[in-house]
Amino acid sequence: LGQQIICNAEVTAVEMPDGNFKVLYTHNGKEKTLESQSLVITTGGLPIPKMGATDFALRFARNHQLNIIETAPALVPLTITGKDEDWYAHLSGNSVFCKVSNEKISFEENLLFTHWGLSGPAILQISSYWKPGEVFNLDLLPGKDISAIIETERKTNGKSLLSTIFNRLYPKKFTDALAKFLPIEKQVASLTKEELELIHKTIHLFKVKPAGDKGYDKAEVMRGGIDTNELSSKTLACKKIPNLYFGGECVDVTGWLGGYNFQWAWASGFVIAQNI
Ligand SMILES: Cc1cc2nc3c(=O)[nH]c(=O)nc-3n(C[C@H](O)[C@H](O)[C@H](O)COP(=O)(O)OP(=O)(O)OC[C@H]3O[C@@H](n4cnc5c(N)ncnc54)[C@H](O)[C@@H]3O)c2cc1C
């Protein structure tokens, strides 16, 4: 079909003389140009600069007065600092199934404790809906009721320690760590009403206030990007600049874990190719 693929080239600028596109790029140390009637920009988002990520698309859009939805790392581990830092770090390597939620969304997935905070699918998912300063909740026993489990134990074996119940539900190290908040070495029959309430709240409504995220070096995707309102929803053509298209991660379309970001990159490329 006569296409030419130029690898290992860096586009440094795009000019638009007479309604055409003039692409300036460096290749093998030489500065070159090529001209075209149409241009597709799919230079991705900001995650992992070491792997070649650049802000080219965002910069180009900004320079041409296209609206950009605020960008931030997404599908990214979160950090914990301050008084709780040691508690989380001590649990590094342990994983717990949970329901993570905030006022926008919830996910049932594993969370992973790390020496700097939290990771694992539950945390990567909620990170896309989290902003610095916000708190989210962990239900550490989704689909079950810790109060009902304790009540049954109180009736059948009141001398059981709370830690015995927790050890059936969690890794031992996590049970031990819960001693910071709960009387885990107490017999279940002797737990007071206040203690039972505290146990319920701690297990089903564990509050987490991350200090920040691990940034674009560790993020799997960028949220935000070129406003979809700037593009035709049918062709992904830019409404303000004829014959210009944007696709993939530089556009404000962000997927959950599970291949949806690849899917968007490929699907948007397909749509543009049908319409160019
Ligand atoms: C570690 C990691 C794991 C991931 N895992 C998954 C996953 O499991 N499932 C999933 O769906 N998504 C995943 N993603 C996200 C997914 O890879 C991206 O959303 C997708 O690749 C975006 O495609 P794209 O074509 O828009 O951009 P990219 O794949 O980023 O491609 C853009 C290309 O443009 C190049 N470029 C940038 N600026 C210039 C310039 N000025 N000149 C020339 N070239 C330039 C870049 O070097 C890059 O090669 C992951 C991302 C990361 C970082």
**pLDDT tens-digit readout, 76-93:** 999 999 999 999 999 999
Pair (85, 161) in one structural domain: yes
Whether the CB of 49 sits within 6 Å of ligand 1: no
Q: Which atom of ligand 1 is nearest to the CA of 250?
A: 26
**Pick from 182, 213, 244: which residue ends a domain?**
213
Pair (90, 188) in one structural domain: yes
Asked if residue 22 belongs to a domain, the reply is no
Pair (94, 117) in one structural domain: yes
Report how far ligand 1's centroid is from the alpha carbon of 53 (Å). Answer: 7
Q: How many angstroms separate the Cα of 21 from the Cα of each of 34, 54, 59, 251? A: 8, 20, 16, 20
How far, in Å, CA of 209 to CA of 211, rounded?
Answer: 7
Closest among 79, 77, 54, 57 to 68, alpha carbons compared: 57
Model confidence at 131, pLDDT cuts 50, 70, 90, reads very high
Q: What is the pLDDT of residue 178?
A: 97
Can you say whether the dihedral through the CA atoms of 240, 243, 249, 253 is positive or negative? positive
How many domains are there within the chain? 2
How far, in Å, CA of 218 to CA of 73, rounded?
Answer: 8
Asked if residue 13 belongs to a domain, the reply is no
Whether the CB of 47 sits within 6 Å of ligand 1: yes
The pick from 28, 220, 272 for probing ligand 1's pocket by mutation, whose C-beta has the most ligand atoms within 8 angstroms, reads: 220
How far, in Å, CA of 88 to CA of 66, rounded?
Answer: 42
Confirm if 39 and 24 have CB atoms less than 8 A apart: no
Q: Using CA positions, which residue lies closest to atom 19 of ligand 1?
A: 261
Asked if residue 8 belongs to a domain, the reply is no
Pair (95, 142) in one structural domain: yes
Model confidence at 122, pLDDT cuts 50, 70, 90, reads very high
Pair (233, 150) in one structural domain: no
How far, in Å, CA of 12 to CA of 30, rounded?
Answer: 12
Q: Using CA positions, which residue lies closest to atom 3 of ligand 1?
A: 220
Pair (84, 191) in one structural domain: yes
Whether the CB of 249 sits within 6 Å of ligand 1: yes
Pair (114, 146) in one structural domain: yes
Q: Using CA positions, which residue lies closest to atom 30 of ligand 1?
A: 44
Pair (116, 186) in one structural domain: yes
pLDDT tens-digit series, residues 179-215: 999 999 999 999 999 999 999 999 999 999 999 999 9
Asked if residue 176 belongs to a domain, the reply is yes
pLDDT tens-digit series, residues 4-35: 899 999 999 999 988 899 999 999 999 999 99
Pair (132, 109) in one structural domain: yes
Q: Using CA positions, which residue lies closest to atom 1 of ligand 1?
A: 220
Whether the CB of 75 sits within 6 Å of ligand 1: no
Q: What is the pLDDT of residue 99?
A: 98
**Pick from 186, 213, 240: which residue ends a domain?**
213
Whether the CB of 221 sits within 6 Å of ligand 1: yes
pLDDT tens-digit series, residues 235-266: 999 999 999 999 999 999 999 999 999 999 99
- Taking the CB of residue 110, how many other CB atoms lie within 10 A of it? 13
Model confidence at 224, pLDDT cuts 50, 70, 90, reads very high
Report the mean per-residue pLDDT for the chain. Answer: 96
CATH number of residue 157's parent domain? 2.40.30.10
Pair (171, 259) in one structural domain: no
Asked if residue 3 belongs to a domain, the reply is no
Asked if residue 89 belongs to a domain, the reply is yes
Whether the CB of 220 sits within 6 Å of ligand 1: yes
Asked if residue 84 belongs to a domain, the reply is yes
Q: What is the pLDDT of residue 216?
A: 97
CATH number of residue 231's parent domain? 3.50.50.60
Pair (45, 140) in one structural domain: no
Q: What is the pLDDT of residue 262?
A: 98
Asked if residue 25 belongs to a domain, the reply is no
Pair (129, 253) in one structural domain: no
User: Domain range for residue 49?
Assistant: 38-74+222-275
The SS3 call for residue 214 is coil
Report how far ligand 1's centroid is from the alpha carbon of 45 (Å). Answer: 7
Is residue 1's pLDDT more than 80?
no
Confirm if 112 and 95 have CB atoms less than 8 A apart: yes
Q: What is the pLDDT of residue 19?
A: 85
ipTM associated with this complex? 0.98
Average pLDDT over residues 131-141: 97
**Pick from 159, 180, 213: which residue ends a domain?**
213
How far, in Å, CA of 269 to CA of 97, rounded?
Answer: 36
Whether the CB of 42 sits within 6 Å of ligand 1: yes
Q: Using CA positions, which residue lies closest to atom 27 of ligand 1?
A: 44
Q: What is the pLDDT of residue 3?
A: 85
